[in-house]
Structure 1
Amino acid sequence: TIGQALTSLVEQARELHCLDGLPQATNKLYNNNNTARTASQIVGCGNLFQVLCCDFDDANGKDHHDDSHVIVLDGENIPSYRACTIIGRCVYNESDLARILQVDKHKFIVPPLSSFLTSSFHHFVSEGYKQIQVKDGYHLIVIDPPWNNKSVKRKKSYHMVEETNLKQIRIQDLAGRDSLVCVWITNNERLKGFIIDDLFPHWSVDFVAEWFWMKVTRSGEPVCDVLSPHKKP
């Protein structure tokens, strides 16, 4: 289950000393708010990769890494790479155990039997998608686009994408025969209409259901009014 996988990954992260300094959870992980608050105070790498992806596009992908488009994590040694050499390359952990990848001064935990590609949107839709294709396609594809919204525009926290550009994603080259495609959206009826009436037909994807992510407090109460027209819990 997802819970078991999460527990296993956290345990491996502790064994690799990636969570040193954090308190041990005394109850179920998903109900331990104190641990979550402590973890959230850890300073990550900020917008490092976002900036590098933009630089990668500006340089047309040249001189940012060697000819190898793949990095394979194996053995117990911690591989170290400069951040700019990660962009546009697929990183694989083919081990049954989690591995640590060091990028500049930052360390990342890569789950077992997993891979990832750090790429700009432009590179992904033009070439990057080919690097992550798998035989028979993916069973599940989850897309969380950086939608245009006033809060992000005001804070300038990340680059946003115009919704029509999502049509450039080659879902037909990534999905399997009976794949499930999930797209997160904000509480915006216009975006919902775009996905159901425009984007999904363009991808030859059938709309089957709408799911809601219900955020609740420890006591089970919604974090805000369910009927609020502005913000959903």
Structure 2
Amino acid sequence: MLNLFESFSDSEIDTYKNDNFNLLNEFYKISCNFGDFHGENNTEYGQITIINEISFLIPPKCKFFNKNVIEIKKFLPESEKFDFIVIDPPWKCRYIKRLKKTFDQKSYNMMTNDEISNISLRNYTHKSSIVIIWATNSETHENFIKNSLLEKWDLKQIGIWHWIKVDKTGDTFCSFEGNKKPYEKIFIATHFKNDVKDIIEKEISIVSQSSSIHSHKPQLLSK
């Protein structure tokens, strides 16, 4: 396997790791309490804007909302339909529970499976929509997605991808056989009335280093 870090010395790698750790701490200091806000960028270019004294890079041609997703119907009309939806729910997770006890700034509020299923996502899809659902490595959560959530959102599974996490040498952090897995599953779904075959690749493995920022995901699509 190709080692992307072989051109760096150990001291350089340590320096980059320390710099990354310091940036991570600064990120957590400012990332917890932005408050509610929303807006729109109608231009063809990304825009930097300041909200609550924090700078944000807003992509071109987009609307953005930083609000409680359970109340989505209050700020996003159901006439808005989306071709592609990516959702990374804050699943109940023992790691985050432990983190809350030791460093509350680095934690976040989690949602129960019932709360996640109550997100009115079905109102924003059409017959050809593709929905991507990130899932933690929990048999309970996976069974919930397959046996309950997809039906609640008028979806059906058409594929499953894997994000395999590796270290700087390209090796996985742990064994595939243990309780802790070196990967996350990505469920690919579409509207249950969509009969088109081969809409999207059914099985893909994305191999990359995991970010120091919890829940920071790799790029799913390439040009």
Provide the TM-score with structure 1 as the length reference.
Answer: 0.61
Q: Offset of 1:97 from its aligned partner?
A: 1.5
CA RMSD for the aligned pairs?
Answer: 2.6
8 Å contact kept, 2:165–2:173: yes
CA change 1:230–1:217 in 2 (3 A) is closer
Pick the aligned partner of 2:32 from 25, 47, 62.
47
Q: CA deviation digits over 1:83-102, x for unaligned, max 9?
A: xxxx2x53111111111110
Q: Offset of 1:221 from its aligned partner?
A: 2.1
Structure 2: which amino acid aligns with 1:41? N
Q: CA deviation digits over 1:104-162, x for unaligned, max 9?
A: 321111122222110013322x413328x53xx21111111111112212222111111
Greater share of strand: 2
Pick the aligned partner of 1:100 from 25, 33, 48.
48
Counterpart Cα distance in 2 of 1:188 and 1:223: 18
Counterpart Cα distance in 2 of 1:39 and 1:219: 18
Is residue 69 of structure 2 the alignment partner of residue 121 of structure 1? yes
Greater relative CO, 1 or 2 (CA 8 Å, sep 6+): 2
8 Å contact kept, 2:39–2:64: yes
Is residue 129 of structure 2 the alignment partner of residue 164 of structure 1? no
Alignment of 1:1-233 (within 5 A): 38=19, 41-42=22-23, 43-44=26-27, 45-49=30-34, 52=35, 87=36, 89-124=37-72, 126-130=73-77, 134=80, 137-156=81-100, 157-233=107-183
Alignment gaps of 5+ in structure 1 = 1-26, 28-32, 53-86
**2:155 aligns to what SS in structure 1?**
coil
Counterpart Cα distance in 2 of 1:149 and 1:130: 31
Aligned residues: 162
Structure 1: which amino acid aligns with 2:138? N
Counterpart Cα distance in 1 of 2:173 and 2:145: 27
Q: Offset of 1:177 from its aligned partner?
A: 1.7
Alignment gaps of 5+ in structure 2 = 1-6, 8-12, 101-106, 184-223
Counterpart Cα distance in 2 of 1:149 and 1:197: 20
CA change 1:141–1:107 in 2 (3 A) is same
Provide the TM-score with structure 2 as the length reference.
Answer: 0.64
Equivalent pairs: percent with the same residue?
24
Q: Offset of 1:193 from its aligned partner?
A: 0.5
**2:157 aligns to what SS in structure 1?**
coil
8 Å contact kept, 1:187–1:232: no
